[in-house]
Amino acid sequence: MTVENIYSKKSDNENGARRKYCFCKCDCGNHKEFPLKNIMNGNTKKCGECYNGKKYTDFIGEKYGTWEVKNIINKQKKYYAICQCVVCGYTKDISLTLLTKTNNFCTVCNSKNKKYKNLIGKRFKHFTLLNFISNKTGYLVELRCNDCNRIYKRHPRKLTIETLNKLGNCGYCYKGIRYEDYIGKKFGILTILDFKKKNEVHCRCECGNEVKLHIDTVLNPKKTCGKCYNGKPFEYYIGKTSGYLTIEKITEAKNILSKPTVICRCACTNTVELSLHDFFDGIRVSCGECYNGKRYEDYIGKTYGYFTIQNIIRPNKSQKKAGYYVNCTCKCDNSKILKRPLTTLLQTKPVLSCGCLTYKIHSLRKIKFGKLNVLNYSNQNEGGLRYICKCDCGNEIEVLESDLFTGKVTCCEECKEL
């Protein structure tokens, strides 16, 4: 701005006070009057009808890269150029700052980087590109689906290799098979009746329910309608038993990603909620608070072999896989507290003592208790140590150590009746 004259005149406000004005010449050649105060403060730097010393009307008809300016408009107190791509014909409003200072190539046809006529016939992930169709909004691409050979059109935002690779298939096929060919086919216990939307199918389950599911869900042979298991409704399984658990109630899945749950009662009277698949696959056979259907607290004071359980040691969260331990005493020394895994006392071949019985069986085999001869230890150790004994008649029976040593049992039941 160049100041050519300074003068004072009455302002247009109600007071009518005299103020100083200046007559200025802009770099674009326009002459205009401004308050001197605005010029001195730097608030006014141009006439408002130009950009970088060039009139807005002078931009019309000029070319910047692949853009040709068709008109200048004022939007929200800013001037924009209506530009048209000389390659594809795409029209767009661009601010003069972006038009004159940044990359001036059309983002639709991307004519700077690629001659897309060379892509015709190229095979991409889901389709083969057949042709480019230019219109006012950019490019339409004509494609042929690689799965079902259907010809369709798409309008990508940008014509780049990356965006073309992201385009999907025709939307009328799945894994190389047309949707029409899926109708009537059975996958697991689901039969496809119709396609409602893209990749959404209407199915009938063996239990009689009709549901809408994603095609991926239907093709999985383990999937159901969500209201049955193995083609039978949930009500059929109420009362069924697995391990120590008995089903009392079954809750349907809240959505496709979740699984149906069952509420079970354990043999120890506890109630537990778990997945339906965990129940039938045998992953959970108890409530987790008992062993062999008996609460852990009920084992306190019981005798197994020579061991008497004093208390139960529960595992920490970090040591949950370690299982439950017990503090117990052996018959040979009641003052000594021993720590043993509970499973070793209750397993099929249990641990019977701290080691004091190692050689005792050899001496007992030489002794005869009435008509009974000791053969070996019994695995049935609940209530105390038991021996497997053979009677003179040939029968084998199990006898408690206390009954054998006190003479309470001296023969089998058959010999006793005689």
Residue-wise pLDDT tens digits, 231-289 = 788 888 888 888 889 999 888 877 655 678 889 999 888 999 988 888 888 888 888 88
In contact, 341 and 325? CB cutoff 8 Å:
yes
Q: How buried is 124 (Cβ within 10 angstroms: 0-12 exposed, 13-18 middle, 19+ buried)?
A: middle
Q: Domain ranges in the chain?
A: 2-48, 56-101, 116-174, 181-280, 359-418
Q: Residue 375 contacts by C-beta under 8 Å, 6 or more apart in sequence?
A: 365, 387, 388, 389, 390, 396
Instruction: Give, as one character, the DSSP assignment of residue 2.
Output: E
Question: 390 has which bridge partners?
Answer: 373, 396
Global confidence as pTM: 0.47
> 369 is written with which tokens?
């208790």
> 268 is written with which tokens?
């120890």
Distance CA(350)–CA(353), nearest Å, equals 9
Structural domain 56-101, CATH architecture: Roll (2.30)
Going from the first residue of the chain to its last (418 residues), give the mean pLDDT of each consecutive group of 10, the final group possibly shorter. 79 69 82 81 79 82 82 83 78 81 65 56 82 63 82 71 73 78 85 80 86 81 77 85 89 71 90 86 85 86 88 76 83 84 84 81 85 88 87 90 88 84
Over residues 328-341, the pLDDT tens digits come to 998 888 788 888 88
